[in-house]
């Protein structure tokens, strides 16, 4: 029993250490020349642009469902006018960044881990080294940079679409006044609500890219190893996103 707990703890600490070393290399190499601009732009397309449909749909339906739930709850004590402001708050502060983060973790984290994992087991990463190209600079850094830059943009768009989802449900099926809905949203939202969500998004992007790269980079043993790397990348980034979200919420709204 104790041996089991001890072994699990050691394994966890070992993993934390390895991720830290990986991060050190990634940041050290990523922030010094040479910077692969072409790779960064390509990854921005793949991580950011192609995630738009998934993230947009998620935000739209979440905003709609949120409006419905808040209406059902608030109508019990005649507070229907709060629907717009609570939807806006919920989307920008929590649900926008967290759901976008989780969706991107599933979409992008998995694909990064699978791609780098396959490159590892087919010796393409070794081949990079023999062609005098540092794989941290060429593969890892562009993905991290692209994810950190594009996730806030994605979440900004998700905020707008989520609020729009709430608006459509609010005006069409609940029967709230459209003009009042928008006024309530605009008057109530503060800069801090949106910016905190965007900060979270950047952190989540970092987590997704680092976990995807780390697990892909260290995968071994053929197809099964790549599959395991993909699973680990998605699971670990999802859990880290939720944990980081809690930590960031307590930090950003500490007053």
Partner 1 sequence: MAEGYIELYNVKKSFGPKHVLNGVTLSVPRGHSLVVIGGSGTGKSVMLKCILGLLHPDSGSIRIAGEEVVGLKGKARDDYLARFGMLFQGAALFDSLSVWENVAFGLIQGRHMARAKARDIAIDKLGQVGLGPEVGNLFPAELSGGMQKRVGLARAIAADPEIIFFDEPTTGLDPIMADVINNLIVDCVKRLGATTVSITHDMASARKIADDIAMIFKGEIIWQGAAKTIDHGGNPYVDQFIHGSAEGPIQMDVLKP
- Binding stretches for partner 1 (CB under 8 A): 119, 122-124, 126-134, 138
Shortest gap between Cβ of 218 and partner 1 (angstroms)?
14
* CB closer to partner 1, 69 vs 133: 133
Shortest gap between Cβ of 21 and partner 1 (angstroms)?
14
Q: How far apart are CA 40 and CA 109, in angstroms?
A: 16
* CB closer to partner 1, 33 vs 175: 33
Shortest gap between Cβ of 216 and partner 1 (angstroms)?
14
The H-assigned helical ranges of the chain are 2-30, 37-47, 52-74, 83-89, 96-104, 110-121, 124-130, 135, 141-168, 178-188, 191-217, 222-252
CA distances to 26, 59, 63 from 94, rounded to whole Å, are 29, 11, 12
* CB closer to partner 1, 3 vs 132: 132
* CB closer to partner 1, 10 vs 127: 127
189 backbone φψ class: left, alpha, beta (φ>0; ψ -120 to 50): beta
How buried is residue 29: exposed, middle or buried, by Cβ count under 10 Å (0-12/13-18/19+)? Answer: middle
| Length, in residues, of the chain | 255
Residue 34: is the preceding peptide bond cis (ω within 30°)? yes
* CB closer to partner 1, 134 vs 249: 134
Shortest gap between Cβ of 128 and partner 1 (angstroms)?
8
* CB closer to partner 1, 85 vs 134: 134
Shortest gap between Cβ of 34 and partner 1 (angstroms)?
8
Q: How far apart are CA 97 and CA 101, in angstroms?
A: 6
């Amino acid at each position: 029993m104790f041996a089991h707990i001890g072994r699990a703890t050691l394994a966890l600490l070992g993993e934390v250490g390895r991720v830290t070393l990986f991060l050190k290399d990634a940041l050290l190499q990523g922030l010094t020349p040479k910077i692969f601009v072409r790779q960064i732009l390509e990854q921005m397309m793949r991580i950011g642009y192609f995630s738009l449909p998934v993230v947009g749909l998620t935000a739209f339906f979440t905003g709609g469902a949120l409006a419905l739930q808040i209406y059902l709850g608030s109508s019990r004590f005649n507070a229907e006018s709060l629907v717009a402001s609570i939807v806006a708050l919920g989307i920008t502060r929590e649900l926008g960044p967290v759901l976008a983060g989780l969706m991107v973790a599933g979409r992008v984290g998995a694909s990064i881990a699978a791609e780098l994992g396959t490159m590892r087991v087919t010796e393409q990463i070794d081949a990079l080294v023999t062609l005098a190209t540092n794989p941290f600079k060429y593969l890892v850094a562009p993905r991290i940079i692209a994810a950190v830059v594009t996730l806030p943009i994605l979440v900004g768009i998700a905020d707008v679409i989520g609020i729009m989802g709430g608006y459509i449900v609010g005006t069409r099926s609940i029967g709230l006044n459209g003009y009042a809905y928008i006024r309530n949203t605009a008057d109530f939202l503060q800069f801090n609500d949106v910016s905190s969500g965007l900060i979270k998004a950047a952190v989540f992007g970092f987590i997704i890219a680092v976990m995807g790269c780390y697990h892909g980079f260290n995968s071994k043993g053929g197809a099964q190893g790549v599959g395991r790397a993909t699973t680990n990348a998605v699971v670990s980034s999802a859990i880290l996103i939720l944990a980081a979200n809690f930590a960031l919420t307590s930090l950003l709204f500490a007053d």
